Structure 1
Amino acid sequence: MKAKDIRDLTLEEVRARINSDNDRLLKLRLNHAVSAIENPSEIRAIRRDIARLKTILREREMAEVQTN
């Protein structure tokens, strides 16, 4: 997911997406530990998506603090 697309999401949608991606990452890691997964680069992509989501979430939190 691109940063531009993430910025279009609401705060609650971003938090929900972080939770769902964390769950997906956990399941992929467990599957990868048990047997080889079809696309191991998907783990890396999900990790980076989570990082983007958290970065934009933090940007919004800091912007809110600065306006108060």
Structure 2
Amino acid sequence: MKTSEIKEMTISEIEERLDAEKQELTRMTLSHHISPLDNPMKIRKSRRNIARMLTILRQKQLTEK
């Protein structure tokens, strides 16, 4: 997910997407420990997407106050 796409979302949409992304990361990590994923780089992409969402969420929260 691109930064521009995240910036267009509302705070509640970002929080919902963030929860879904965290669950997906947990699922991928656990399945990767059991048997290797086809593309383990998906874990890195997911972690970075979560970090992007958290950063933009924090920026939006600060500008709202």
With the shorter chain as reference, the TM-score category is over 0.9
> Quick check: 1:62 aligned with 2:62?
yes
Which residue matches 2:37? 37
Runs of 4 or more above 6 Å deviation: none
> Number of aligned pairs?
65
| CA RMSD, Structure 1 to Structure 2 (Å) | 0.6
Instruction: Name structure 2 gaps, 5 residues minimum.
Output: none
When the two structures are superposed, what TM-score results if normalisation uses the length of structure 2? 0.96
Q: CA deviation at 1:10?
A: 1.2
Which residue matches 1:18? 18
Which residue matches 1:48? 48
Q: Percent identity?
A: 37
Instruction: Name structure 1 gaps, 5 residues minimum.
Output: none
Determine which structure has more spread, i.e. the larger CA radius of gyration: 1
